[in-house]
Chain A
Amino acid sequence: MDAGTLLYLISLATMIGLYAILALGLNLQWGFAGLFNAGIAGFFAVGAYTTSILTTPPSADHLGGYSLPIPLGILSGVLLSALLGYAVARICLRLKSDYLAIATIGIAEMLRMMLRNEVWMTNGSRGIADIPRPFEGLAQPWGELSFLALVAAVVILLYAAIERAWRSPWGRTLRAIRENDEAAEAAGKDVIACRAQVFTLGSAVMGLAGGLMAHYFKFIGPDATEPILTTFIAWVMLIAGGSGNNRGAVLGAAVIWTIWSTTELLTQRLPADWQTRSSYIRVFLIGLLLQIVLQRFSRGLLPERPPRPKTWESPSKEP
């Protein structure tokens, strides 16, 4: 294997890991609780821009930078993203789910407008450069491999934590609310509080994905928060992988990103005129793929499997 292929495979795996984090965050909101977030890009952007401003060296182009340590930057992004999620949840969760969709899309678009126009803070459409990447001092490919290992560790930790939450009484309550909120309320569950908790957590995870992505690309601009590349693709990943199944979320990220990335490689060989055209065809086909999955395979590659209480297992299965 030559060095170029190796680097491509490492970057493919890293991107899959980053999108897996995004899909896991969405699975918390949609898979666990049936909350429709159409503004993933907004939470992602908050995470990405916060850490970029905090960790870059001082620059005349944008606010800061403050040269803070990377973990502190990412953590701040996660907290701000969670705060935004909590505010949205407080306003919208009393209302029918469609309102949440409209409000989240509104937040994401407002943020994009701000990122473009508040040049003093974000350097506008030119974006923030010189974002430090962990392990970038190491020689190729060890620096890239180390970053991949970091992302993989984050995915594994998140997966373990979310899987545990899924099996906890809290996860059970959320599923009950998702299936029938009135019954859950009658059973004494605080529906709004539970929904607000899970929406906030999911937003925090999305902010984490944004922060890591900014450090990976070493650059963040308003185009990175373009809804097609974040909100929409995360939705396709989760639904294709199997919403309500954390492994499905990770698998969906792997499958969809591999398709997206390899078709891009293929179309790069086409003449320039066809290259731009084919990028629209790719978006169209991803939209169509979502429709087909929704209609024919609505449970996804790995369907949801709620954990069964131990008492339900028949004794005959015991050795």
Chain B
Amino acid sequence: MIDRGALLDFVGLYLIPGIVTGCIYALGAIGVSLLFGILRFAHFAHGDLMTFGGYLALSVVWWLGWPAVAAIPLAAAGTALLAVGLDRAFYRPFRRRPTIVTVIASFGVMLMIRSAVQLVWGVEPLQYRPGIEPPLILFDALRIQTRHIWIVGVTAGLVLALHLMLTQSRIGRAMRAVSDEPDLARVTGISTERVILVTWLIGGALAAVAGVFLGMDSKLDSYMGWDQLLPVFAAAILGGIGQPMGAAAGGLVLGVVQELSTYNWIGEDPLVSPDYKLGLAFAIMVALLIWRPTGLLRGRQL
């Protein structure tokens, strides 16, 4: 017999936070996966792009007094431009070199973004809006935070829009062509640089949205994006490299599994200590690298 209160606790304290975390991973993983597919390198600075987006939204909140959700478009636009600028300055010079050189460059960019964030916004954790908001109560029983509804709703909308763009629009099809067959795409007259530009715009914008959500869900911290890097890579690998929709699914699965793993499935204690829930992403990733490096959805091997 399942106790009603226990079920509501399970949904409210484990399942919903899992979906929310999964949405954040998904937004990061889509960018990483697209960049993997088109530029063929692991973008180590992606987590710190998230951090930057989150803090940019904080400045908008401060200047204009808007709520964090309303600041998303500006933060996304700013981060997308930063991503393109970073590509021009630090990644494009290495297009014809082995991709690992670009990985090293992104390693440096990662530190540059983070130290710039720490210089401008400081290292003390910050919040968009101080205080606690009362949760909405659905069906007289299920308590749910308004911000969680926003996070899940906006993520779903963005993933759907991206899916339509990749399958229906001209540039979206060009992106998939460059990802699948770069040489064939080039001879058919697709401008690779244009595809790369759009990829950075999308990757940067989605990273910023993820960063704002991270800040909304807890606090803004200069290391928050770095902490997402591992699960985001794991999600991208889980979904199959170069498969953005797979990455989104991978992110969602990872987020839910991670939160559910801390539930007391056996006995009284959490199955996995909350201190180690980030480690679960890593464990899943290692298992995938050993048995299914192409990901669950049969993407390309990197």
Assess the A281–B107 pair: CB atoms within 8 A.
no
Partner-contacting stretch, out of B113-121, B132-140, B244-252: B113-121
Given contacts A95-B302, A103-B289, A294-B105, contact A109 B230 (CB under 8 A): yes
Closest B residue to A232 by beta carbon equals B111
Q: For A98, give its contact among B94, B100, B116, B229 (CB under 8 Å).
A: B100
- Name B112's contact: one of A91, A277, A284 (CB within 8 Å): A284
Cα–Cα distance between A103 and B103 once the two chains are bound (Å)? 14
> Chain B interface: which size bin?
35 or more
Q: How far is the CA of A277 from the CA of B122 in the complex (A)?
A: 8
User: Is A32 an interface position by the 8 A CB rule?
Assistant: no
Q: With A and B bound together, what is the CA distance between A99 and B286 in angstroms? A: 10
Over the window 75-111 of chain A, the binary record of Cβ atoms lying under 8 Å from chain B Cβ atoms (1 yes, 0 no) is 0000000000000000110111111011101100110
Contact among A34, A281, A291 with B108 in the assembled complex (CB-CB below 8 Å) = A291
In contact, B112 and A99 (Cβ under 8 angstroms): no
22 A-B pairs, CB-CB below 8 angstroms? A97-B103, A98-B36, A98-B99, A101-B44, A102-B230, A103-B286, A105-B230, A106-B282, A106-B286, A239-B104, A276-B123, A280-B116, A280-B119, A283-B115, A284-B111, A284-B115, A284-B119, A287-B112, A288-B108, A291-B108, A294-B94, A294-B105
- Shortest beta-carbon distance, A109 to chain B, in Å? 6
8 nearest CB pairs, A to B: A287-B112, A290-B108, A283-B115, A98-B42, A287-B111, A284-B115, A280-B115, A280-B119
**Given A95-B301, A96-B302, A110:B279 Cβ within 8 A:** yes
Residue among A94, A98, A106, A277 making CB contact with B103, cutoff 8 Å: A98
Whether A36 sits at the interface, judged by CB under 8 Å, is yes
B36: nearest chain-A partner, CB-CB: A98
Given known contacts A36-B103, A91-B290, A281 and B115 CB-to-CB distance under 8 angstroms = yes
A235 within 8 A of B: yes
Q: How far is the CB of B239 from chain A (nearest CB, A)?
A: 14
- Which residues in B have their C-beta under 8 angstroms from that of A113? 275-276, 278-279
Q: Assess whether A228 is interfacial by the CB under 8 Å rule.
A: yes
Q: Min CB distance, A193 to chain B, in Å? A: 18
Question: Shortest distance in angstroms between A317's beta carbon and chain B's nearest beta carbon?
Answer: 34
- The proximity string for A residues 223-264 relative to B, scoring 1 for CB distances below 8 Å and 0 otherwise, is 000001000100100010000000000000000000000000
B230, A106: Cβ atoms closer than 8 Å: yes
B42 close to A101 (CB less than 8 A) = yes
Q: Who on chain B is nearest to A92 by CB?
A: B289
Cα of A239 to Cα of B105 in the assembled complex, Å: 11
**Does A286 belong to the interface (CB within 8 Å)?**
yes
